[in-house]
Structure 1
Amino acid sequence: MFTHVTLGANDVEASRKFYDAVLGALGHQPGVPSEVPMPGVWYMTPRGMLGVVTPRDGQAACHANGGTIGFAAPNPEAVIAFAEAGVAAGGVAIEDPAGPRSTAFGVMHLAYLRDPSGNKVCAVHRAS
């Protein structure tokens, strides 16, 4: 459904450190710095891209109130690794501790963090 997601960052280097850590915990490669399509760091997979960029309008980056970006985790252990790597790389754990939760869709393993610019991200593992 999606080709890419971009997040604004006030400190691209701090955000690169955070996303290299949390996405690395999920098995992804480090980001690649680029000036196009927007200055920042980009993470590519066969199915899409994540850009962590300096806002194009020159204004300060801010988080989307009510917005969350969820990353697929291959197993419950990766959810915990995502949370630990994110906190170690300057993120802040929010909501309940990382781990299993009962939902309307069954048990899901979740971890929620705020990145260095305040964006809300999570790792999710759903048993198939």
Structure 2
Amino acid sequence: MLLYVTVGTNDLERAGRFYDAVLPLIGYRRQKQADGEIGYAADGDVRCRFWVVEPFNRKPATFGNGATVAFDAPSRAAVDAFHAAAIANGGTDEGAPGIRPFHPHFYAAFVRDLDGNKLSAVCERPE
């Protein structure tokens, strides 16, 4: 099990606005903020599992080619809302909500945040 995941940003305030608008739709909320970082946790979790950070080495943040952060979404409607909010808040579409070929109930949407980090919301429950 993963302890946490970080994505880099070149503008923490702007990234915070993006994630504050998008993540609550799938059950994650800002829980902590300190110099250079914002932490998000799922409802009911006592630990931030997703962090948006300014790189420690002070070099520009870049996205990982082939890297995707996938969030567990509570419903297909939440996946749809996540995708719509990401696009409305400046993100870019990387795959509209829909069933993927991984298994019959793998319903996902893919977006890129304002720094180019690839994100996905996934519901694996039938609806």
> How would you bin the TM-score normalised by the shorter chain?
0.7 to 0.9
**Per-residue deviation, 1:123:** 0.2
Equivalent pair of 1:5/1:51 in contact (CA under 8 Å)? yes
User: 1:113–1:122: 8 Å Cα contact kept in structure 2?
Assistant: yes
1:13 corresponding residue in structure 2:
13
Partner of 2:97: 98
Distance 1:31 1:122 in 2: 21
Kept in 2: contact 1:79–1:110 (CA 8 A): yes
Amino acid at match of 2:119: V
**One-letter amino acid of the structure 2 residue matched with residue 113 of structure 1:** V
Map 1:1-128 → 2, pairs under 5 A: 1-35=1-35, 39-45=36-42, 46=45, 48-95=48-95, 97-101=96-100, 103-127=101-125
SS for the counterpart of 2:64 is coil
The count of aligned residue pairs is: 123
Q: Any conservation in 1 of the 2:30–2:41 contact (CA below 8 Å)? A: no
1:15, 1:99 → 2: CA distance? 26
Could you list the per-position Cα deviations for residues 14-34 of structure 1 after superposition, in whole angstroms to 9, with x for gaps in the alignment? Answer: 111111122111122235321
Deviation, 1:110, is: 0.8
Counterpart CA distance in 2 for 1:76 and 1:2 is 24
With normalisation by structure 2, the TM-score equals 0.88
Question: Percent of aligned positions with the same letter in both sequences?
Answer: 36
Paired with 1:126 and 1:19, the residues of 2 have a C-alpha distance of 22
Write out the 4+ residue segments of structure 1 that deviate beyond 3 Å after TM superposition.
none
Unaligned runs of 5+ in 2: none
Q: Distance in 2 between matches of 1:30 and 1:42?
A: 6
The amino acid of 1:41's aligned partner reads: I
- Superposition TM-score, scaled by structure 1 size: 0.87
Aligned-residue Cα RMSD (Å) equals 1.6
